[in-house]
Amino acid sequence: MKNYIILIVFSLTFSNNFAQMSTDRPDQTEGTHVLKKGNAQIESGWTFGSEGGSLNTLLRIGTFKGIELRFSTNLISDHEDMTGLFPSLDNLEFGAKFKILDKKETLTKISFLSHLSVSTEYSDNSGGLLNRILVSHELSESFELAYNLGYSKYFEQDNGLLVYSLVVAKSFGNLGAFVEIFGDSYSNWDLGITYLIKDNLQADISYGQGINNELSYLSIGAAWNFSLKSNK
């Protein structure tokens, strides 16, 4: 599977047409794009890996010009009691993304993302604040470089964590591909492809591994964009 995805990723780098939804999955780099007022987007996917399985769902809502609200849940399947394994809800995240720089005449876009993480009964860590600066550079009509730099501080920990990610993405037609490095105290890499089924519906698959740790996962998901405005 890994070699197959790598072959697809690098074969796509020779194409030069663009037609993709702007999503915050399946890579770990949060995009600079902010949803327009009245639009909403659901991004959800299953992750299977060395740390168990999970279903992550992100709801994004465009509220005001340059601002979107966000709500994220993570349903995990590796908790166990006397009856065996059962699904449980990990930390809930509430947040917002703010557009800082996004002008047609510039090829660089900048946004700021902030999340409040709220722990549940089955969370592995306490709640905390997660903040990131998001930057993207349009290198060509179909080639983009993006990166995040942030700081995560959980309430029960004395020190926070610097988080980073760097992704190179290429698109052509209805297909897209990316290669990425990301991490905090541990470093990882991943790659994946997306397929635009309709203008507002996109499927994705990605694979990732740890560089200095045992992380390994496969993720499959989709994103759906829709309007909250009435057609009347």
**From residue 143, how far is each of 17, 21, 116, 126, 138 by CA, in Å?**
9, 14, 32, 38, 6
For 2-36+43-226, which CATH class?
Answer: mainly beta
176 or 158: whose pLDDT is higher? 176
Percentage helix, strand, coil for the chain under 3-state DSSP, each rounded to 5: 5, 60, 35
Sorted by where each begins, the domain ranges of the chain are: 2-36+43-226
Q: What is the pLDDT of residues 45-101, one digit of tens each?
A: 999 987 778 899 999 999 999 999 999 998 887 655 544 455 677 889 999 999 999
pLDDT at 114 over 70: yes
Q: What is the structure's pLDDT at 201?
A: 98
Q: What is the structure's pLDDT at 121?
A: 75
Q: What is the structure's pLDDT at 43?
A: 98
* Assigned token pair, 230: 């009435």
Q: What is the structure's pLDDT at 150?
A: 97
- Global pTM reads 0.86
Q: What is the structure's pLDDT at 85?
A: 53
Partners of 228 in beta bridges: none
What mean pLDDT is reported for the chain?
A: 87
Q: For the residues 207-231, what does the mean pLDDT come to?
A: 93
SS3 30: coil
